[in-house]
Amino acid sequence: MKKNNIKILILAGVRPNFIKIAPLLEEIKKHRQIKQVLVHTGQHYDFKMSQVFFEDLNIPRPNYNLGVGSGSHAYQIGEALIKLEKVVLKEKPNLIIIVGDANSCLVGSLVATKLYLPVAHVEAGLRSFNRKMPEEINRLLTDHLSDYLFVHDPAAVENLLREGIERKKIFFVGNIMIDSLEGAKKKIKNLKFYKKFGLKEKEYALLTLHRQENVDDKEIFQGIITAIEKIQKRIKVIYPLHVRTEKRIKEFGFWTRVKNMKNLIITPPLSYLKTLSLMAGSRFVMTDSGGVQEETTILNVPCLTLRQETERPITVKVGTNKVVGTKEKDIIREALKVLNGKIKKGKTPKYWDGKTARRIISIILEKHGKQ
């Protein structure tokens, strides 16, 4: 490889990862000196969970698919470690880029560190301060192994500094997910996917629910379902059902109850563009997803976060997001507030402008040139 040329290995494994890598891959195309190697761990291997996102986001076929599949955290991490190490030894990249907080993120940082390669973490510094969340452990370990920490929130900078990470490793670049959202706005405006279900704009709510701390705890999950049961009597609710969540509903004996909710519309997992279209057209969103909190902020759609905390506090501070917890009465109370017109107005955080990928690649090229 010529001097100052660089080979970058980009690692992804789950749907939120794909949304974050798409702008990076598009930006890399503009730089001839960069060769990219795309690796998919195969953590989300179902078409609805993976391939359809590649199509929506114009992501090229991965150079490698590790085929890890489903399983426990230990299994996924162990399998991916073994398989990724072989790819890295073969490809000999100059840098590994990891995104988000899934198991693939931790795997990438571990392999890079063990093989003495620099690693860049996109979406670094997020903290829920809840170590029962598997994602929180991934975030902590990944950030402390990373050489480039690309953050999208001033609070994330403070988190990293408080943990003793050197300031020179931290770069405030903005939110990479908004790059993808900005590129999709025209498509989702024209799609109007809610019409497929006979719905009208602003006359339905969108629900997304999948996090382990919610759906793996029967008591918490039951409280959320009871709240949805009452809310859907006031407004139709559309729920793209995560495969793992569906298993828990059936395992806990909630399936008949869920199916009997007349105004709850259940769909299989949806593509990126279809999900955004439903989000943009909704009256409000109920979610436990971090990415949805950010997307609703930009789309100016009220968001009720069904968790005890958020690692994205800026969406609460300047956006339309409110953390309401998981108790039935709290969820219902806040949903009724929105239905009664008590809506928080949001604004766009700094650097959530669709130019984050450009900033990231510019920094990497600048630093690489000095090596």
Q: Is residue 210 annotated as a catalytic residue, yes or no?
A: yes
Number of C-alpha atoms within 13 angstroms, CB side, residue 224? 28
Catalytic residue selected from 31, 210, 242, 368 = 210
- Which position has the token pair 């994602």? 135
Rg (C-alpha) for the chain, rounded Å, is 20
The 3-state DSSP class for residue 298 equals helix
Annotate the chain with three-state secondary structure. CCCCCEEEEEEECCHHHHHHHHHHHHHHCCCCCEEEEEEECCCCCCHHHCHHHHHHCCCCCCCEECCCCCCCHHHHHHHHHHHHHHHHHHHCCCEEEEECCCHHHHHHHHHHHHCCCCEEEECCCCCCCCCCCHHHHHHHHHHHHCCEEEECCHHHHHHHHHCCCCHHHEEECCCHHHHHHHHHHHHHHHHCHHHHHCCCCCCEEEEECCCHHHHCCHHHHHHHHHHHHHHCCCCEEEEECCHHHHHHHHHCCCHHHHHCCCCEEEECCCCHHHHHHHHHHCCEEEECCHHHHHHHHHHCCCEEECCCCCCCCHHHHCCCEEECCCCHHHHHHHHHHHHCCCCCCCCCCCCCCCCHHHHHHHHHHHHHHCC
Residues that are catalytic = 210
